């Protein structure tokens, strides 16, 4: 993230240097060059575009204001700053998540959450009929964006808030932290009908205390060390080993999550988008039965799969990978 900020600073400095050099070099003004930025042609009025030694120089303020940017001068730091008023975040990768976060807040998303827990209740009733004498029926659930709404933290991050575990912990402790509709009711329904619930989360160990406090405050049942599995220090993100612990003593009849990793280690993002789609089809009958997935358009392994979870790739390279996905699937290819 800091690299992106630095790039913006360098761009600002470069433009200042270039435009300042016009005064001393006495370059030639021309109206034969059109300048286009983000699909918009810049209009400089009587200021014009300057050519010198094959380089194009433009007036800073007129250039950005012509395409709708706000331009300010910070005298204290001797810096000209151009900002797009149509952007919410100053980070490119965060700005790409704005519409996804808005969808998570939509009525359509809310309907999906309610639908998921209604279906989960129906499936648990069927499990009770299938195992009428069982005392060890269990449901496993992820926490974030499966039981607890994470969009209140996302809303802050997208407006240049901190993207850290400490900031996430503060968001969990805030009054804005709420359960998803139907989540508390379903988990209590399982317990009230003789079942057991387990929470497997990749929240880090430093969030243990706030996790227990907030889950209990929201009304979730069985909030204790035996039923909440935090991602301990040094532990991989895979939840397989923690699921195995539960499955050793319990009949797991249902798993709920918003990311495929919540269900099984069958969908590694390193395999890419199509391979994960194929893997989903291989367990076709489990979706809506033992596996109940909730929508999350903001983050998850689905995004990592676009660039095969190659963390060495730059933001620009990842953008090219995203474009390649659309090029592959578009009907005109």
pLDDT band at 58 (very low <50, low <70, confident <90, very high): confident
Q: Domain residue spans in the chain?
A: 2-86, 93-328
Contact criterion met (CB below 8 Å) for 167 and 152: no
* Model pLDDT, residue 220: 99
CA distance 109 to 73: 42
Chain-wide mean pLDDT for the chain? 86
Position 30 confidence tier, pLDDT thresholds 50, 70, 90: low
Owner of token pair 């994960």: 276
Instruction: Express as a percent the part of the chain with pLDDT over 70.
Output: 80
Average pLDDT rounded to a whole number, residues 259-277: 96
Which has the higher per-residue pLDDT, 3 or 257? 257
Residue 38 has pLDDT above 80, yes or no: no
pLDDT band at 22 (very low <50, low <70, confident <90, very high): very low
User: What pLDDT does 41 receive?
Assistant: 74
> 211 with 198: CB under 8 angstroms?
no
Burial of 84 per CB tally in 10 Å (0-12, 13-18, 19+): middle
Does residue 270 surpass a pLDDT of 50? yes
Q: What's the token pair of residue 8? A: 């913006």
Q: What torsion, rounded to 10 degrees, do the Cα atoms 316, 322, 324, 327 define?
A: -130
In this prediction the pTM is 0.76
Structure tokens at 280: 């989903």
Task: Tell me which of 86 and 213 has the higher pLDDT.
Answer: 213
On the question of pLDDT at 151 being above 60, the answer is yes
Weakest-pLDDT range from 99-113, 149-163, 231-245:
149-163
Give me the mean pLDDT over the 7-23 stretch.
42
> The dihedral of CA 297, 298, 300, 305: what is its sign?
positive
CATH number for the segment(s) 93-328: 3.40.50.1000
How far is residue 119's CA from residue 113's CA, in Å, rounded to a whole number?
10
The whole-number pLDDT of residue 223 equals 98
Per residue in 77-131, pLDDT (tens digit) is 888 776 665 455 555 677 788 899 999 999 999 999 999 999 999 999 999 999 9
Structure confidence at residue 254 (pLDDT): 99
Q: What pLDDT shows up at residue 123? A: 99
For residue 29, list its beta bridge partners.
Answer: 50
Is the pLDDT at 24 greater than 60, yes or no? no
pLDDT at 92: 60
Q: Which residues contact 288 (CB under 8 A, 6 or more apart)?
A: 119, 123
């Amino acid at each position: 993230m800091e690299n992106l900020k630095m790039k913006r600073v360098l761009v600002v400095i470069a433009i200042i240097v270039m435009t300042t050099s016009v005064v001393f070099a006495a370059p030639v003004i021309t109206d034969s060059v059109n300048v286009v930025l983000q699909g918009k042609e810049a209009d400089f009025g009587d200021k014009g575009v300057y050519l010198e030694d094959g380089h194009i120089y433009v007036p800073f303020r007129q250039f950005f204001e012509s395409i709708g940017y706000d331009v300010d001068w910070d005298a204290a730091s001797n810096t000209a700053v151009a900002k797009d008023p149509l952007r919410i975040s100053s980070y490119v990768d965060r700005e790409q998540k704005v519409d996804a976060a808005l969808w998570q807040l939509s009525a359509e998303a809310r309907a999906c959450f309610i639908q998921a827990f209604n279906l989960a209740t129906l499936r648990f009733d069927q499990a009770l009929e299938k195992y009428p004498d069982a005392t060890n029926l269990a449901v496993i659930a992820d926490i974030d964006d499966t039981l607890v709404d994470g969009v209140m933290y996302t809303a802050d991050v997208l407006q240049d808030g901190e993207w850290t575990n400490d900031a996430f912990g503060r968001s969990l402790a805030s009054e804005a932290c709420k359960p998803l509709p139907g989540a508390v009711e379903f988990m209590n329904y399982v317990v009230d009908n003789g079942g057991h619930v387990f929470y497997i989360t990749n929240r880090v160990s430093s969030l243990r205390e706030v996790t227990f406090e907030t889950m209990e405050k929201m009304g979730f049942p069985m909030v204790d060390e035996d039923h909440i599995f935090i991602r301990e220090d040094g532990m991989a993100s895979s939840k397989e080993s923690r699921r195995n612990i539960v499955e050793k003593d319990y009949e797991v009849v249902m798993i709920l999550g918003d990311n495929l990793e919540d269900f099984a280690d069958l969908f590694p993002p390193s395999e890419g988008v199509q391979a994960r789609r194929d893997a989903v089809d291989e367990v076709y009958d489990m979706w809506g039965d033992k596996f109940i997935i909730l929508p999350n358009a903001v983050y998850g392994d689905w995004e990592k799969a676009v660039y095969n979870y190659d963390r060495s790739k730059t933001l620009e390279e990842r953008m090219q990978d995203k474009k390649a996905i659309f090029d592959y699937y578009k009907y005109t290819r």
